[in-house]
Structure 1
Amino acid sequence: MTLAFWEQAAPRTVRRGHMWIAGKRIQRNAQTYQCGPLFVEWEAPEQVTRPWPIVLLHGGGYQGTEWFDTPDGRPGWAQRLVEAGYVVLVADRPGQGRSPFHVETMGPMGPAFSYEHGRHIYFPAEYEGRHTQWPFARDDEAAMDEFIAGYGPLPADLAFSEDMEADRIAKLLDRIGPAILLTHSASGPVGWLVADRRPGLVKAIVAVEPMGPPFAQIPNIGTLTWGLAATPLNWEPPVASPDALREAAPGEHRLPALAGLPIVAVTAEASAFAAASTPAIEQLNAAGCQAELLHLPDHGVFGNGHGLIYEKNSDAALVPVLNWLIEHTEPSDPAHRKS
């Protein structure tokens, strides 16, 4: 007799719950509506052994479920981080997942997410020989149906979307206190924006293959008009326009709120997104940040693509990230770590 899938899962002792970060009230035809609330699901181990919680932000058009179980049914990074002693908060970015979207409050939707676009991002033909860790066969149409099912449209206005997301995540930090941000893909720019708006409340940023490079036009999503993001950061001295920022010499404009903040971009062996991370890290460092690259093959983790957080070796991919987090966010003396 085959066991039901829930009977095969290891039992856990955790604390869990959810919360809403409210969106802004807006008026339409003498009625009041809410624009862009943020749904957050949280989980904590029985004993919290790490000093800061981690906020997980998913990629574009998807939802927080990408941090949960992998497509082949194994525990994802959210559970593994809880097992490592962290409080973990998983957000559904506004208008995605369980965070509602309505065009009357958030503006037009962007394009739907196609199967072809998904294949191009997650297992492009040009990396087929090197990309060995995708969790299901490329011709498994039933598995592809289930994978694509979680995708929906983004707001058509990327600057509006990023500004709204950064506002809600900043308010989440106001509520929970200092935290680490762990972003993936299109949420990468939101990490920079939140740290810029809440200096001191962001303790580190791990950006898994962040969307870029600076000033890039991203198909089906929008343009990073202000270099690192579609909406402006607090540059010092202030920048008059995107063109002025693009033409400025490296280091001419700084990001004081991000100075000294530990930042790492995690990149994979078989992904076109990896190349976008180097110029993003270079712009962050020129602006006074403490940013670096963590290329998985340099740590003995091979065969990954853009979906490295839920590929067959996702546990191995997390190991160097955990090591980096411990090194950059915890005292070297265990006696001084928060229990």
Structure 2
Amino acid sequence: MLSRSVFLALALELVAASAHNHPGEYSPEDECSGVNAISPACSTGESLHYRDIFYVGGHYVETTAGNLTYDQLYVEKLTPADGVSQPNPVIFFHGGGTSGVTWLNTPDNRKGFASYFLDLGYQVYIVDQTSVGRGSEEDLTDFPMRIGSTAEISENGFTAPEQANLYPQSQLHTQWPGTGLKSDPTFDAFESTFIPLTTNLTAQELSMRRSGCALLALLATPAFLVSHSIGALHPLLLSNDCPALVAGSVNLEPANTPFQSLLGNASVPGTGSSRTRPWGLANTRLTYDPALSSSSDHDDSNVADPSAALGAHLVGIDAPERRACYMQRDPPRKLPQVAKVPT
């Protein structure tokens, strides 16, 4: 342990070093852009707030190593410094391969989504989905992991699709700051946010259903759910399981395309897909009307092939400018639970 005299000496050295390194007023604005804004001399554009963290849900599982916690959901609570003025909170769900950092400041250090809603007086919650980030799982069997992204995937899919030109609409892409290419500082900051994600979306959906509804029940006030990409699975499932606790659902670039993922098996650049989400918009059971099961109790949990029961069939010719899609047979079944939630 440091003695009091040693601690005071170190503190004085830090003060002296600070005065030496930053004499007077700090220099030009560009020296506080991007990662340079990490400097203590740089002010922040983020909204003033209080922060708390919680873990919601989860349960103990006895293993040969001892009792481990599975399925816990990391939740960050941001409260406006001036107080909450909106009646319903907002919960953010990130996409695949990243974490709740998506909703904080942008890669070029501009104000992010969280601050925008804090300024409007909302209570804000940001989750790291079960199995990733600060919600990482001890369950190494059910949650195998893969890489979150590569520079090439990010360039082609997010930051510079106009360069790859895999589909005609890519030329309309103009909003990404900087070049959108590797070694550009904004791109590099964005690429650094990627982390491994699980390949077992079924296990993740089941754990998010349990912990997500537990979170909503703790809030006791219906919340708005805002999601991006594959994160759109979770507001859908919570709308199915506990719709009375959901005030509304906003899904940005949702990646739960019915019955398929628009990745893989490409014979022509900009096309190709692989079958997934047998329940249409999810990998796990959704409540349909009419029910899929013909049993007397209409228990859909035992339906062996829900996509076949729904009559999923491919419609259209798959082309870069207009992708083919899967639809139910007529008359299509409805999702009565999900329909209770405004979108």
For 1:27 and 1:112, locate their aligned partners in 2 and report how far apart those are by CA, in whole Å.
Answer: 30
Aligned positions of 1:89-104 closer than 5 A: 89-102=125-138, 104=140
Tell me, what secondary structure is at the counterpart of 2:227? strand
> What do the CA deviations read for 1:71-104 (whole angstroms, capped 9, x no partner)?
1111101110010111110001112221123452
Task: State yes or no: 1:133 paired with 2:175.
Answer: yes
Task: State yes or no: 1:84 paired with 2:137.
Answer: no
Aligned positions of 1:17-166 closer than 5 A: 17-29=52-64, 31-45=66-80, 46-102=82-138, 104=140, 106-122=142-158, 123-124=160-161, 125-126=164-165, 129-141=171-183, 143=185, 144-166=187-209
Q: 1:197 aligns with which of 231, 241, 253?
A: 241
For 1:214 and 1:12, locate their aligned partners in 2 and report how far apart those are by CA, in whole Å.
Answer: 38
Preserved contact between residue 158 and residue 223 of structure 1 (Cα < 8 Å): no
RMSD: 2.4
The residue identity in structure 2 corresponding to 1:226 is W
TM-score by length of 2: 0.70
Instruction: Report the CA distance between 1:205 and its aligned residue.
Output: 0.1
For 1:152 and 1:10, locate their aligned partners in 2 and report how far apart those are by CA, in whole Å.
Answer: 26
Q: 1:187 aligns with which of 217, 231, 234?
A: 231
The residue identity in structure 2 corresponding to 1:223 is T
**Closer, same or farther in 2 for the Cα pair 1:96/1:218, shift >3 Å?**
farther
For 2:47 and 2:69, locate their aligned partners in 1 and report how far apart those are by CA, in whole Å.
Answer: 36
**Closer, same or farther in 2 for the Cα pair 1:231/1:74, shift >3 Å?**
same
Greater shift in the superposed pair: 251-260 or 197-206: 251-260
Instruction: Report the CA distance between 1:55 and its aligned residue.
Output: 0.3
Task: State yes or no: 1:168 paired with 2:217.
Answer: no
Q: 2:308 aligns with which of 236, 243, 246?
A: 243
**Closer, same or farther in 2 for the Cα pair 1:222/1:145, shift >3 Å?**
farther
**Closer, same or farther in 2 for the Cα pair 1:11/1:204, shift >3 Å?**
closer
**2:339 paired residue number:** 259
What is the number of equivalent residue pairs in this alignment?
Answer: 263
Task: State yes or no: 1:234 paired with 2:287.
Answer: yes
For 1:112 and 1:258, locate their aligned partners in 2 and report how far apart those are by CA, in whole Å.
Answer: 29
* Greater Cα radius of gyration, structure 1 or 2: 2
Preserved contact between residue 72 and residue 136 of structure 1 (Cα < 8 Å): no
Greater shift in the superposed pair: 106-115 or 163-172: 106-115
Q: Which has the higher contact order (CA 8 A, sep 6+)?
A: 1
**Closer, same or farther in 2 for the Cα pair 1:237/1:27, shift >3 Å?**
farther
Preserved contact between residue 36 and residue 106 of structure 1 (Cα < 8 Å): no
Preserved contact between residue 132 and residue 198 of structure 2 (Cα < 8 Å): no
The residue identity in structure 1 corresponding to 2:56 is I
For 2:119 and 2:249, locate their aligned partners in 1 and report how far apart those are by CA, in whole Å.
Answer: 20
For 2:175 and 2:46, locate their aligned partners in 1 and report how far apart those are by CA, in whole Å.
Answer: 27
Tell me, what secondary structure is at the counterpart of 1:113? coil
Instruction: Report the CA distance between 1:26 and its aligned residue.
Output: 1.9
Preserved contact between residue 76 and residue 125 of structure 2 (Cα < 8 Å): yes
For 2:341 and 2:178, locate their aligned partners in 1 and report how far apart those are by CA, in whole Å.
Answer: 37
> What do the CA deviations read for 1:104-152 (whole angstroms, capped 9, x no partner)?
2543213452222222220322255321110232345153333222212
The residue identity in structure 1 corresponding to 2:339 is A
For 2:257 and 2:47, locate their aligned partners in 1 and report how far apart those are by CA, in whole Å.
Answer: 40
